[in-house]
Amino acid sequence: MSGYFSMLLYSLDLLGTGVFAVTGAMVAARRNMDLFGALVLAFVTAVGGGTIRDAILGSTPVFWVHDTNYLTVICLATALTLAGKAWWHKTRHVVMLLDALGLGVFVVIGVEKVLSMQLDPMVAILMGVLTGAGGGVIRDVLAGRVPMVLRSEIYATAAIAGGILYIVMYDVGVSRSIVAIACASSVFVLRLLAIYCNFSLPKVTAQSS
């Protein structure tokens, strides 16, 4: 991967971190948490998935310990979110767009980390999904609600599809920057389709079919 591409991916990673932090701070505000609660929810949403990934892989200290840009972005995003409450309803679609983009980038980063350690592709897909969707799960648990991602949204499914696409293209030998762009884009597009066209996975219910 070229240095230029790595820099692009890193910039998008920080952008995704900021947007995920915004969604965490918003949930905290809706639950009447205090400033500290907003910081915590912003933090776990933004880096929670990647932190668990690194702990599972033994890649410690985890990624944000050595690069404090992540923490800085999270603090800034939380401050902006709380200061800009009056504009929330106007930025709703922008947040959703950037959140979908962040999901795509996080999946790429998770998959690439596992592949760089020469581990199994199945583990790579799982870690891509964990990096993208894990933070939101912790956020929802701390906010006292059943994680949205387990219930009704095609959030994780977009991440899984992107992960599989990455592995398949990588196996047939496509260059890494192309694979990364294809993976992130497909997650992004699937996620937007899900939001604006109301796709959803069939519910699994306890009643016999």
- Residue ranges in contact with a second copy by CB under 8 A: 25-26, 28-38, 40-41, 51, 55-58, 60-62, 65-66, 68, 71-72, 82, 85-86, 88, 117, 119-120, 122-123, 126, 137, 141-147, 149-152, 156-157, 160, 200-209
Q: Number of C-alpha atoms within 13 angstroms, CB side, residue 3?
A: 0
Is the Cβ of residue 62 or residue 181 nearer to a second copy in the bound state? 62
Q: Is 53 in contact with 126 (CB distance < 8 Å)?
A: no
In a 13 Å sphere around the CA of 45, the CA atoms on its Cβ side amount to 35
Q: Which residues contact 79 (CB under 8 A, 6 or more apart)?
A: none
Pick 39 or 101: Cβ nearer a second copy: 39
Whole-number Å distance between alpha carbons of 117 and 114: 5
How many other C-beta atoms can be found within 10 angstroms of the C-beta atom of residue 37?
A: 18
Distance CA 45, CA 24 (A): 6
Smallest gap from Cβ 10 to a second copy, in A, equals 18
User: Could you tell me the smallest distance in angstroms from the CB atom of residue 199 to a second copy?
Assistant: 11
In this complex, which beta carbon is closest to a second copy, that of residue 173 or of residue 202?
Answer: 202
Q: Closer CB to a second copy, residue 65 or residue 178?
A: 65
Q: Which is nearer to a second copy, 1 or 150 (CB)?
A: 150
Please report how many Cα atoms fall inside a 13 Å half-sphere around the Cα of residue 145, on the Cβ side.
13
Rounded to a whole number of angstroms, the minimum distance from the CB of residue 137 to a second copy is 7
CB of 118 to a second copy, least distance (A): 11
Peptide bond between residue 121 and the one before it cis (omega within 30 degrees of 0): no
Question: What is the nearest approach in angstroms of a second copy to the Cβ of residue 201?
Answer: 4
CB of 191 to a second copy, least distance (A): 13
Q: Which two tokens stand for residue 141?
A: 């648990």
- Considering beta carbons, is residue 52 or 101 the nearer one to a second copy? 52
